[in-house]
Structure formats: structure tokens, C-alpha cells
């Protein structure tokens, strides 16, 4: 089962990808992990990727696809995988499809975890992080015992810049510009499945399992 996860930052697709991987015994593959592993093991592809990253440049799509295809060859991916964080753009999706087609393969499902922007902005805006130990809380879903104070170390809790509404709005706008076209792309290929990501996490997962069978 070859699965691609789509969804805005903060929609919870990473969490769902992990649960899919567990239930179906397939690896959860994120490009960040692949980069780190290849650079750590000093592979040829890792060295190539590092020359771009050291210069602060984006790793070209073809190289990212090479790294991903290389990861797919590992034994644990024999029955498929759930790919998280890639592709993000149409050229990336096309490059991935081309590489898969060369092996006579294709994507089985592109799962889009749908959450309206307003919900994401509210969710992120409720997050709090401890300045002392880094523990994270949520004023609604995982509140500290005393408002604004860390349960573990007693330090102050703050709203991180990353979670501020303006930052989240900017990230979402980049996401929509780049990734929305992917939804049409996979829809045309008949592999797109939409899931309501505003539900409780267990219900989102149940909906995904209903799709995957
Ligand atoms: Zn703390």
C-alpha cells in the first residue's frame, strides 16, 4: 500500500501517518528523516544533498526523489509506505510519479486531512511551551494545572513565535499556493481521498482505516 499524506501544517497528518504505519506495518517515511539518515551515514546521495544544504539552498526535486526511491528499496518498505511531507508541489509529484512508473508502480492513495484554516489558527494559538524544559501544553486540550506555569519545572509558559496567528496564517498561505494544486492532481489520478480532520484524532484515524480497508 503506497500512501501519500496531504494536509496543512497543523492538520495532524503526521500523527495519522504514524498510526497508519503502525496498523499496516509499513514505514512512515518523512523526507527530513531520510536526509538525516543519509547525511549521518555519509552516503553518496547524502553527500550530494549536504552540498546544497550547506549553501542554504533547496535540495533539487530530482535528488529528493532519488533519496526517496532509495528509501523505498529497503526491506521494510516491501509492502508499501506512508509518505509524509512529500510531494509538496506539482513538479515534485510529477518527478515521484515518473520514478515510480519506471518500476511499474504508482501511488495507491493520497489522503487529504482537511481542516479549515480558522481551526488550525485556533489550535496553534492555544499551544504553550515552557521556557525552562520545553514541555508543551494546550490551553484547551492539555492545560497545565496552573495557568501559564509548567507542571514539570514551574517555569513560565509562552506562545512561541511559530504558533502565533500571523505566522500560522503565512504558513497556511504558502501551503495553499503550493499544495492545493496537488489535490487536483491526485483527484485526476483517482487516488485522492478526503478525510474530515476537525474530528477527534481517533475518529480521523477510523475514517482513514475505512478508506484503506
Ligand atoms: Zn517546564
User: Of these residues, 23, 36, 156, 160, which one is catalytic?
Assistant: 160
Specify whether 171 is catalytic: yes
Specify whether 160 is catalytic: yes
| Ligand 1 geometric centre to CA of 163 (Å) | 18
pTM of the model: 0.84
Residues in the 5 Å CB sphere of ion ligand 1: 130, 132-133, 135, 150, 152-153, 155
C-alpha 171/C-alpha 163 separation (Å) is: 10
Q: Are 22 and 76 in contact (CB under 8 A)?
A: no
| Ligand 1 geometric centre to CA of 176 (Å) | 34
| Ligand 1 geometric centre to CA of 156 (Å) | 7
Specify whether 88 is catalytic: yes
| Ligand 1 geometric centre to CA of 160 (Å) | 14
Domain locations in the chain? 2-116+172-212
Count of other CB atoms within 10 angstroms of residue 42:
9
User: Of these residues, 88, 164, 169, 193, which one is catalytic?
Assistant: 88
In sequence order, the β-bridge partners of residue 142 are 138
Calculate ∠ Cα 45-99-93, nearest 5°.
Answer: 95
What was the pLDDT predicted at 141? 87
Calculate ∠ Cα 59-65-66, nearest 5°.
Answer: 95
What was the pLDDT predicted at 78? 93
Alpha-helix residue ranges (DSSP H) falling in the chain: 13-24, 31-40, 44-54, 61-72, 90-102, 117-125, 165-188, 201-212
| Ligand 1 geometric centre to CA of 117 (Å) | 29
Specify whether 127 is catalytic: yes
Name, in order, each residue with C-beta under 8 angstroms of 210's C-beta and a sequence gap of 6 or more.
Answer: none
Give the DSSP per-residue string, 23-54: HHT--EEEHHHHHHHHHHTT-HHHHHHHHHHH
Q: How far is CA 134 from CA 11, 148, 149, 161, in A?
A: 22, 13, 12, 14
Q: Are 68 and 29 in contact (CB under 8 A)?
A: yes
What was the pLDDT predicted at 191? 98
C-alpha 204/C-alpha 109 separation (Å) is: 16
Q: Quick one: 2-116+172-212 is in which CATH superfamily?
A: P-loop containing nucleotide triphosphate hydrolases (3.40.50.300)
Letter string b/e over residues 160-186, b meaning 16 or more CB atoms within 10 A of that residue's CB? eeebeeeebeebbeebeeebeebeebb
C-alpha cell at 204: 480521523
Which residues does the chain have with pLDDT short of 50?
none
| Ligand 1 geometric centre to CA of 213 (Å) | 41
Amino acid at each position: 500500500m503506497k500512501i501519500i499524506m496531504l494536509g496543512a501544517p497543523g492538520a495532524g497528518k503526521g500523527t495519522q501517518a504514524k498510526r497508519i504505519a503502525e496498523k499496516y506495518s509499513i514505514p512512515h517515511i518523512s523526507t527530513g528523516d531520510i536526509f538525516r539518515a543519509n547525511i549521518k551515514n555519509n552516503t553518496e546521495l547524502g553527500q550530494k544533498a549536504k552540498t546544497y544544504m550547506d549553501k542554504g539552498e533547496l535540495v533539487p526535486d530530482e535528488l529528493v526523489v532519488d533519496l526517496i526511491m532509495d528509501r523505498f528499496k529497503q526491506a521494510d518498505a516491501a509492502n508499501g509506505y506512508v509518505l509524509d511531507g512529500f510531494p509538496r508541489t506539482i513538479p515534485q509529484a510529477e518527478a515521484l510519479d515518473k520514478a515510480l512508473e519506471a518500476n511499474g508502480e504508482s501511488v495507491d492513495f493520497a489522503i487529504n486531512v482537511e481542516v479549515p484554516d480558522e481551526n488550525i489558527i485556533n489550535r496553534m494559538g492555544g499551544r504553550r511551551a515552557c521556557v525552562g524544559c520545553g514541555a508543551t501544553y494546550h490551553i484547551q486540550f492539555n492545560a497545565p494545572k496552573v495557568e501559564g506555569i509548567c507542571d514539570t519545572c514551574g517555569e513560565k509558559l509562552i506562545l512561541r513565535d511559530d504558533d502565533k496567528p500571523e505566522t500560522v496564517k503565512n504558513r497556511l498561505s504558502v501551503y495553499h499556493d503550493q499544495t492545493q494544486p496537488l489535490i487536483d492532481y491526485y483527484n485526476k489520478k483517482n487516488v485522492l481521498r478526503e478525510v474530515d480532520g476537525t474530528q477527534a484524532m481517533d475518529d480521523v484515524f477510523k475514517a482513514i482505516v475505512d478508506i484503506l480497508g
